[in-house]
């Protein structure tokens, strides 16, 4: 797999984000860490390009984003769309879940994630 570039200035900030994760990020991380999700290794707060993504699985080229309440504002939605387009141009697949979905409906989030992973596995 080819190397994905990242802004080295984001490395320190990604460490700060890991220490100050939202409740939704913490809850999902408990389900992803230690290869719990179908045996795949995930990283959290991973610098990719000029962004820091919430979760990243290198073998699947899968990015998972947890969107909080601020993502409902139009200007943030425009930035999110631009960010998603740039990440997809890097060959990455992106899944988005809301903070509230992760907190209140983890079963749905995990089922959706498993289905998406199975689809990615079948593509190869």
The domain that holds 50 is classified in CATH as 3.40.960.10
With respect to residue 19, please indicate whether it lies within any of the assigned structural domains: yes
The answer to whether residue 84 is domain-embedded is: yes
pLDDT digits (tens, 9 = 90+) for 46-105: 999 889 999 999 999 999 999 976 556 677 778 889 989 999 999 999 999 999 999 999
- Nearest of 23, 24, 44 to residue 33 by alpha carbon: 44
The CA distance from 82 to 113, in Å, is 23
In a domain, 112, yes or no: yes
pLDDT given at position 8: 77
| Confidence (pLDDT) at 1 | 46
Residue 5 lies in a domain: no
- Domain around 86: 10-123
Residue 2 lies in a domain: no
pTM greater than 0.75 (yes/no): yes
CA distance 83 to 90: 11
Has residue 1 been placed in a domain?
Answer: no
Q: How many folded domains does the chain comprise? A: 1
């Amino acid at each position: 797999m080819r190397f994905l570039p990242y802004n080295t200035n984001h490395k320190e900030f990604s460490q700060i984000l890991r220490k100050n994760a939202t409740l939704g990020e913490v809850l999902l991380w408990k389900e992803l860490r230690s290869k719990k999700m179908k045996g795949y290794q995930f990283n959290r707060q991973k610098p990719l390009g000029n962004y820091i993504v919430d979760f990243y699985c290198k073998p699947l080229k899968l990015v998972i984003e947890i969107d909080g309440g601020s993502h409902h504002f139009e200007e943030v939605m425009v930035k999110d769309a631009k960010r998603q387009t740039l990440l997809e141009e890097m060959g990455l697949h992106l899944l988005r879940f809301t903070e509230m979905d992760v907190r209140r409906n983890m079963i749905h989030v995990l089922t959706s994630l498993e289905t998406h992973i199975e689809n990615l596995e079948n593509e190869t």
